[in-house]
Amino acid sequence: MVEQQDFFITYNHRDEAWATWIAETLETAGHTTVIQAWDFRPGDNFMAGMDEALTACRQTLGVLSSHYLASLFTRAEWTAAYRQTLLGQPRAFIPVRAAECDPSPLLGPLVYVDLVGVDEDEARRRLLTGVADSVPRARRDARFPGTPNH
């Protein structure tokens, strides 16, 4: 049995570079991850490993791409994680869009971390902010909208 971990990273094999970058970024920031590329060995029961990871991790990150959305294996993984969200576990499934794709209809309502079209520093910032338990609210200089500007 896998010890309690922070994140299970589900991805299509074609997006392994993104998945391992996400895992490394999270682990460098002090989080724990379970990812097929590093944690599943030849001869392991793949489906049992996925089941164990989904149970042992607080949250599941889905690396969204057209490959991910079309795969039967990843569909089984994200639907199991998304079910936990529907049953009341906060943010049990966090989508991370790594390539242009349309997550509709079922994943469409979920806010995703968007890594498309940004540089590495911005992608890292977005990922770590997106998985944080809370977002710091910076004070803004909001002007009263009813006062005319003179």
Q: Are 32 and 6 contacting, i.e. CB atoms less than 8 angstroms apart?
A: yes
Q: Which helix (H) or strand (E) holds 18?
A: helix 16-28
pLDDT tens for each residue of 61-91: 999 999 999 998 899 889 998 888 888 888 9
How many other CB atoms are there within 10 angstroms of residue 31's CB atom? 16
Pick from 44-48, 49-53, 81-85, 142-146: least confident: 142-146
Residue 108, pLDDT score: 85
- What residue ranges do the domains of the chain occupy? 5-131
User: pLDDT per residue over 7-17, tens digit each?
Assistant: 999 999 999 99
Q: Which residues pair with 80 in a beta bridge?
A: none
Distance (Å, whole) CA 61 – CA 67: 15
Mean pLDDT of 30-55: 90
Instruction: Assess if CATH 3.40.50.10140 describes domain 5-131.
Output: yes
Q: What is the pLDDT of residues 89-136, one digit of tens each?
A: 889 999 999 999 998 888 888 899 999 999 999 999 999 999 998 877
Task: Summarize the confidence of residues 145-149 as an average pLDDT.
Answer: 70
Position 147 confidence tier, pLDDT thresholds 50, 70, 90: low
User: How does residue 38 score in pLDDT terms, banded at 50, 70 and 90?
Assistant: very high
- Distance separating alpha carbons of residues 149 and 96, to the nearest angstrom: 41
